[in-house]
Amino acid sequence: MTNVIQEPTPLSESEQTRFVTDADMRHDGALGSSRLLVTDKRAYRYETTPVGEELIASYDVEKLSNPRLEDLVDANSLIADFDGTTVELIRTTSRRSLQVAGAEKRLKALIEGKEMPEIEDTVRVCPRCGRPLPEHSDVCEGCVNKGKTLLRLFRYAKPYKGRLLWGTILTLGGTILELAPPKLTQWLVDDVFINQHAAMLAPLVLALIGMRLVVMGVQVARGRNVAYLGMQITVSIRGTLFEKLQSLSLNFYDKRNVGSIMSRMTNDTGALYDVLVDGIPVLLNQACMLIGIPAALLIMNWHIAIWALLPVPFVLVAVRWFRRKMMRVWSRFWHNWSRLGGTLNGILQGTRVVKAFHGEKREVNRFDRRISELARTGYVAEAAWSSFFPVIVFTMSFSTFVVWWIGGRSVLAGQMTLGQITAFIAYVAMLQQPLMMLQRIIDWSSRALTAAERVFEVMDTPVEIEDSEDAVSMPKIDGAVKFTDVHFGYDKAREVLHGIDLDVKAGEMIGLVGHSGAGKSTMINLLMRFYDPTQGKIELDGVDLKKVSLEDFRRQVGVVLQESYLFPGSIKDNIAYGRPEATLEEVIGAAKAANAHDFIVTFPDGYDSYVGERGQRLSGGERQRIAIARAILHNPKILVLDEATASVDTETERMIQEALERLIDGRTVFAIAHRLSTLRNADRLVVIDDGKIAEVGTHEELLAMPEGIYKKLVDMQQEVNKLRENFIAAE
């Protein structure tokens, strides 16, 4: 691509600014502020330099044509034709691609002399830190309140209030019991060894042993209690998360890979279990110790206690600083972990393609890069912890030195007994443990609360496709469908359908025809209400599809796809997926209607035969006939056939066609077919071209159009068939 750089031209007073688009990349690909200012006469490209804003290029709007987006590596640019060459008007990173897409639409409208559209293309950023906010969310990962996240976790413990109360009693009781041994040691030293009260030796030793046994029992009871709570709460969170995932629209899954979602369901919720079982109980116990030990020290001797506790505030400040640092580190760690899961999932699912194209080495290298990135992030986290921990230990050791110095002088002066300083040293030593545990608590809390945010991010995602408040119950539909000025794009940057108008009568068969990418499958996705139109509406029997009860609608719509998905399980279970309560006789009847019964009974286990992962134990034609049997048993009023006979041999296609003829009888059918000859019997053919309806008519009517799109498609297919026949004959 050539970029023509013109001499900077000052903005004329007679020019009227039409729109301005800001970007975050320069023309050389480096990060930096830039903007595109378009007037009614010229388009100006500015970039910010150390000396100020500089005009890089300007172009006459009249000479610009065909503005379009170009996808770069993690970036996007707006390009256009100018005097026989291609020029770049602005470039931005992927996070600001929405603005560039808006600029493309505005510039296209300006060039065509149309009114510029109103477009929401503002990047939403966090008001505190300026980071871009996730789509469909106002939560900034960097600024989220961790305390609120923790409280949200506790909401899942509400059904177990009794267990929580019991755990609190055990924690407080255990803390009191753990503070008793140093006091017993003081009496042992002063009364037994110093004052020679030999009779007290046995009771005090037995008391120490008994105290340790009781503490052990409390720890066992507390551990079993929190394990139960952790298990129940994790099950509840995983169940809620999975239920949420089932309610989300396909738009959510379009923007995320399977590995990332599985990571949230397994790794992230597993991290929450660690928090609930190992983290929070330890935090509560050590927090009680941090309160109880200083209180005991102050009661014994507040003069020495103040000096002994002097390092504690510095440690707490350091802990707070380190916690913030580790949250960012572990956020990057979990992001890399998610990417690794996505990469692994993609490689494993595409194993056949990898081997077919000898891509093993390439995939090994790609996987190595991912695990190296993960390892580097993990190393940074562990290295930071390994550096921080010894510093805290050294800081806390000052408390021991201070007690020995000041306390020792007090003992020598007779102001303090040997038993008291022994107990004092024991308490100071005990104080180091909760402070050290506090550092480890930072470790798991950084990991776990970041994981919790990732889980709650999914839970907080709005459900786009759901029943409206005034949903209409339609237990029985006729199947009339009407598209009215339907516009749609899978994202705001690119619109796929542009003003679709189509009125389909109940029981009518519609064939959707067009080049690949024209918008046929998108129409089907909207009809199935996997997505909602961004503009216009689709009506079912005169009722807006958005107002029809989803349960009633989905129960009366069936689909047979080109790549029919079969679940791991038996053939019977897959046929009865839409009607789990169906009897074996009904399943067999559907299989016979789908021309599937004959090959099913040849298997050793018949209808109980295991189909394998994604149905890999069956051939493509067999899987397709199982899918047709599933649709027949479902008995839908509206049927969608998306390339149902593609990629099968002629004999299999004949059997599938016979099954489809039985299936479509008396139903409203929308069919997309690779072989146009299979749509001859459609009541109407609808030709889609570039997201618009270009032609409508019967097979004969469309063939009668000499320059029609459909006729060209048929002619091209006939030529391909002749070439194939000649090739076979030559062999």
Per-residue confidence band for 721, with pLDDT thresholds at 50, 70 and 90:
low
Span of 303-307, 313-317, 470-474, 661-665 with lowest mean pLDDT: 661-665
pLDDT number for residue 5 = 35
Report the sign of the C-alpha dihedral through residues 38, 39, 44, 46, in that order. Answer: negative
CA 443 from chain center: how many Å?
24
Q: Are 311 and 396 within 8 A, CB to CB?
A: yes
Looking from the CA of 98 toward its CB, the CA atoms found within 13 Å total 13
Structure tokens at 292: 């109880």
CA distance 458 to 135: 11
* Pick among 3.40.50.300, 3.40.50.620, 2.60.40.2480, 2.30.29.30: CATH of 17-111: 2.30.29.30
Q: What is the average pLDDT across 161-180? A: 85
354 compared with 729, residue with greater pLDDT:
354
Output the average pLDDT for the chain: 80
Tokens describing residue 584: 């074996």
Residue 432, token pair as written in the block:
């180091």
Q: What CA–CA distances, in Å, run from 478 to 33, 376, 467, 530, 667? A: 57, 60, 20, 21, 9
Distance CA 78, CA 100 (A): 6
The DSSP code for 13 is: T
Residue 152 has a pLDDT of 79
Nearest CA-CA partner of 92 in 76, 106, 107, 73: 76
Least confident of 432-441, 447-456, 497-506, 633-642: 432-441
Alpha-carbon dihedral sign for residues 403, 406, 409, 411: negative
Residues 6+ apart with CB under 8 A from 628: 560, 594, 596, 644, 656, 659, 660, 663
Largest CA distance in the chain: 120
Q: Is the separation of the CB atoms in 411 and 417 below 8 Å?
A: yes
Q: Is the pLDDT of residue 66 over 60?
A: yes
The amino acid occupying position 153 is L
Pairing, β 557-560 against β 638-642: parallel
Classified by CATH at the fold level, domain 468-555+686-731 comes out as Rossmann fold (3.40.50)
Higher pLDDT, 6 or 498: 498
pLDDT of residue 4: 37
- Tens-digit pLDDT profile for residues 405-447: 888 888 888 888 888 888 888 888 888 778 767 666 666 666 6
Ramachandran sector of residue 485 (left: φ over 0; alpha: ψ -120 to 50; beta: rest): left
Q: What is the pLDDT of residue 537?
A: 92
Highest mean pLDDT among 131-135, 262-266, 293-297, 369-373: 293-297
Strand, helix or coil for residue 482: strand
Tell me the CA distances in angstroms from 39 to 68, 81, 89, 97, 508, one per residue in order. Answer: 18, 18, 14, 21, 51
Which residue type is seen at 241?
A: L
Does residue 499 or residue 132 have the better pLDDT? Answer: 499
CATH architecture of 146-459: Up-down Bundle (1.20)
H-helix or E-strand spanning residue 182: helix 161-187
Nearest partner of 29 among 64, 76, 69, judged by Cα = 76
Would you say 47 and 33 are in contact if contact means Cβ atoms under 8 Å apart?
Answer: yes
Measured distance CA(336)–CA(341) in Å, rounded? 9
pLDDT exceeding 70 applies to what percent of the chain?
A: 84
**Nearest Cα to 553, choosing from 480, 488, 671, 473?**
473
| pLDDT above 80 (res 564) | no
Of the candidates 450, 462, 449, the one whose C-alpha atom is nearest the C-alpha of residue 135 is 462
What is the mean pLDDT of the segment spanning 292-312?
A: 85
Residue-wise pLDDT tens digits, 669-679: 898 876 676 67
Q: What is the CA radius of gyration of the chain?
A: 36
Q: What is the pLDDT of residues 689-713, one digit of tens each?
A: 988 999 999 888 888 888 888 888 8
What percent of the chain has pLDDT above 90?
11
Q: If you average pLDDT over each of 261-275, 319-333, 428-442, 592-606, which comes out highest?
A: 592-606
Calculate mean pLDDT across residues 310-332: 76
Residues 6+ apart with CB under 8 A from 2: 85, 86, 87
24-56 pLDDT, tens digit each = 888 777 778 888 989 888 899 988 877 778 888
334: left (phi over 0), alpha (psi -120 to 50) or beta: alpha
User: Are 639 and 631 within 8 A, CB to CB?
Assistant: yes
User: For the residues 165-173, what does the mean pLDDT come to?
Assistant: 85
Q: Model confidence at 483, in pLDDT bands (50, 70, 90)?
A: very high
State residue 484's pLDDT score.
94
Question: Is 397 or 43 the better-scoring residue by pLDDT?
Answer: 43
Domains 17-111 and 468-555+686-731 fall in the same CATH topology = no
Read off the pLDDT of each residue in 651-679 and give the average, rounded to a whole number. Answer: 75
> What's residue 1's pLDDT?
37
Give yes or no for residue 120 having a pLDDT over 60.
Answer: no
CA distance 618 to 26: 54
pLDDT in tens, 515-563: 888 888 899 989 989 889 988 999 999 999 999 998 899 888 888 877 7
In the sheet that 557-560 helps form, which strands lie side by side, from edge to edge? 557-560, 638-642, 668-672, 509-513, 684-689, 692-697
Kindly give the pairing relationship between strand 684-689 and strand 692-697.
antiparallel
Residues paired with residue 59 on neighbouring β-strands, in sequence order: 43
Write the DSSP assignment of 375-392 as a string of letters.
Answer: HHHHHHHHHHHHHHHHHH
pLDDT of residue 179: 84
For 558, the token pair is 């069936």
Per-residue model confidence as pLDDT tens digits over 153-164: 778 888 888 888
Q: Which of 70, 47, 64, 76 is nearest to 107 (CA)?
A: 64
Domain ranges of the chain: 17-111, 146-459, 468-555+686-731
8-state DSSP, 476:
S
Burial class (CB in 10 A: 0-12, 13-18, 19+), 500: buried
- What's the order of all strands across the beta sheet hosting 42-49? 17-25, 31-39, 42-49, 52-60
What is the rounded average pLDDT of the residues 257-284?
Answer: 73
CA 530 to chain centre: 18
192-240 pLDDT, tens digit per residue, is 778 778 788 888 889 889 888 998 999 899 889 888 888 888 888 888 8
Confidence of residue 2 (pLDDT cuts 50, 70, 90): very low
